[in-house]
Structure 1
Amino acid sequence: MKALMMLVISLTLLSGSAQAYRESNGGKGVLTDRGVVLLDLFEAGVELPFFGGSYSEKTYWDLRVNLPSDFPVGLIAQKMADIARFSPELHLLLMMSLNDLRWEFTRSELELTTDLEKLPAVDPAKLVQLAVRKKNQIFIHRPLWNILSLDQQAALTVHEMLYHHFDARSVSRVSLPVREFVGVLFSDRSYSQLIQDREFRHQWRKILLFTD
Structure 2
Amino acid sequence: MQQPGSIAMTDDLVAAFPHQLASDVRAVLAVMPAARIAPVSPFSVYVGDEAVAIPYRIHQDELPDDVVRDLTGVQQAILHCLYSRHSDGLVRQRHLEQIASSDEPWAVPFVVQLAGEYVLEILESIQHGLSDLPFKGSVQRLTYGDFIARNPGFFARTERRVVSYWSCYYRWKFPVFGTYPGCHLLELLRAAAIDRTGRAWPRHTPLD
TM-score, structure 2 as length reference? 0.28
- Higher relative CO (Cα under 8 Å, sequence separation at least 6) belongs to 1
Q: Which has the higher strand share?
A: 1
Q: Which has the higher helix share?
A: 2
TM-score, structure 1 as length reference? 0.28
